[in-house]
Amino acid sequence: MATCFWLRSCGARRLGSTFPGCRLHPRAGGLVPAPGPAPGPAQLRGYVGGLEGLSAALLRTDSFVGGRWLPAAATFPVQDPASGAALGMVADCGMSEARAAVRAAYEAFCSWREVSAKERSSLLRKWYNLMIQNKDDLARIITAESGKPLKEAHGEILYSAFFLEWFSEEARRVYGDIIYTPAKDKRALVLKQPVGVAAVITPWNFPSAMITRKVGAALAAGCTVVVKPAEDTPFSALALAELASQAGIPPGVYNVIPCSRKNAKEVGEAICTDPLVSKISFTGSTTTGKILLHHAANSVKRVSMELGGLAPFIVFDSANVDQAVAGALASKFRNTGQTCVCSNRFLVQRGIHDAFVKAFAEAMKKNLHVGNGFEEGTTQGPLINEKAVEKVEKQVNDAVSKGATIVTGGKRHHLGKNFFEPTLLSNVTQDMLCTHEETFGPLAPVIKFDTEEEAIAIANATDVGLAGYFYSQDPAQIWRVAEQLEVGMVGVNEGLISSVECPFGGVKQSGLGREGSKYGIDEYLELKYVCYGGL
Residue 233 CB, shortest distance to ligand NAP, in Å, is: 8
Question: Coil, helix or strand for 360?
Answer: helix
**Four-residue CA torsion sign, 27, 18, 279, 156:** negative
Among 277, 307, 446, 455, binds ligand NAP (CB under 6 A): 307
- With CA atoms as reference, report the closest residue to 66 among 24, 26, 38: 24
Stretch that binds ligand NAP, among 110-118, 195-203, 344-352, 494-502 (CB under 6 A): 195-203
Among 92, 393, 421, 438, binds ligand NAP (CB under 6 A): 438
Q: Which is nearer to ligand NAP, 311 or 357 (CB)?
A: 311
476 contact partners, CB below 8 Å, separation of at least 6: none
**Residue 284 interacting with ligand NAP (CB under 6 A):** yes
**Residue 92 interacting with ligand NAP (CB under 6 A):** no
CA distances from 481 to 308, 450, 476, 486, 490 (A): 22, 15, 9, 10, 10
342 contact partners, CB below 8 Å, separation of at least 6: 309, 311, 331, 332, 333, 334, 335, 439, 440
Question: Coil, helix or strand for 179?
Answer: strand
Residue 267 CB, shortest distance to ligand NAP, in Å, is: 7
Residue 210 CB, shortest distance to ligand NAP, in Å, is: 6
Stretch that binds ligand NAP, among 216-224, 260-268, 329-337, 362-370 (CB under 6 A): 260-268
Among 80, 156, 274, 306, binds ligand NAP (CB under 6 A): 306
Q: Torsions phi, psi of 421, nearest 5?
A: -70, 140
Dist CA 294 CA 273 (whole Å): 10
Dist CA 131 CA 162 (whole Å): 9
Secondary element (H or E) of residue 312: strand 311-315
Residue 98 CB, shortest distance to ligand NAP, in Å, is: 10
Among 149, 207, 252, 309, binds ligand NAP (CB under 6 A): 309
Among 149, 252, 511, 520, binds ligand NAP (CB under 6 A): 511
Contact 465, 488 (CB under 8 A): yes
**Residue 389 interacting with ligand NAP (CB under 6 A):** no
CA distances from 449 to 233, 398, 401, 457 (A): 40, 21, 21, 11
**Residue 230 interacting with ligand NAP (CB under 6 A):** yes
Q: Which residues pair with 251 in a beta bridge?
A: none
Contact 418, 386 (CB under 8 A): yes
Q: Which is nearer to ligand NAP, 43 or 283 (CB)?
A: 283
Q: Which is nearer to ligand NAP, 21 or 491 (CB)?
A: 491
Q: Which is nearer to ligand NAP, 378 or 439 (CB)?
A: 439
Among 80, 165, 231, 452, binds ligand NAP (CB under 6 A): 231
Residue 384 CB, shortest distance to ligand NAP, in Å, is: 8
Q: State the first-to-last Cα distance of the chain, in angstroms, to the nearest integer.
A: 36
233 contact partners, CB below 8 Å, separation of at least 6: 78, 142, 145, 146, 204, 207
Site for ligand NAP in 320-359 (CB under 6 A): 340
Residue 297 CB, shortest distance to ligand NAP, in Å, is: 14
Could you tell me the strand order of the sheet in which 405-408 lies?
A: 405-408, 423-426, 443-449, 343-349, 311-315, 467-471, 489-492
Residue 200 CB, shortest distance to ligand NAP, in Å, is: 10
**Residue 507 interacting with ligand NAP (CB under 6 A):** no
Among 57, 74, 95, 264, binds ligand NAP (CB under 6 A): 264
Q: Which is nearer to ligand NAP, 60 or 113 (CB)?
A: 60
Secondary element (H or E) of residue 529: strand 525-532
Is residue 306 among the annotated active site residues?
Answer: yes
Q: Which residue is nearest to ligand NAP (CB)?
A: 268
Q: Which is nearer to ligand NAP, 21 or 520 (CB)?
A: 520
Site for ligand NAP in 450-479 (CB under 6 A): 466
Judged by CB under 6 A, how many residues of this single chain contact ligand NAP?
30
Q: Which is nearer to ligand NAP, 188 or 291 (CB)?
A: 291
Residue 268 CB, shortest distance to ligand NAP, in Å, is: 2
Q: Which is nearer to ligand NAP, 348 or 466 (CB)?
A: 466
One of 107, 152, 306, 515 is an active-site residue; which one? Answer: 306
**Residue 201 interacting with ligand NAP (CB under 6 A):** yes
Among 118, 172, 173, 261, binds ligand NAP (CB under 6 A): 261
Among 76, 109, 128, 204, binds ligand NAP (CB under 6 A): 204
Contact 376, 413 (CB under 8 A): no
Dist CA 241 CA 105 (whole Å): 14
The CB density around residue 18, as the number of other CB atoms within 10 Å, is 10
The CB density around residue 366, as the number of other CB atoms within 10 Å, is 9
Pairing of strands 75-79, 86-91: antiparallel
Q: Which is nearer to ligand NAP, 130 or 466 (CB)?
A: 466
**Residue 90 interacting with ligand NAP (CB under 6 A):** no
Among 146, 168, 205, 426, binds ligand NAP (CB under 6 A): 205
Contact 318, 324 (CB under 8 A): no
Q: Which is nearer to ligand NAP, 121 or 435 (CB)?
A: 435
The CA R_g of the chain, rounded to the nearest whole Å, is 24
Catalytic site residues?
A: 306
Binding site for ligand NAP (CB under 6 A): 201-206, 210, 228, 230-232, 261, 264-265, 268, 283-285, 288, 291, 306-309, 340, 438, 440, 466, 506, 511
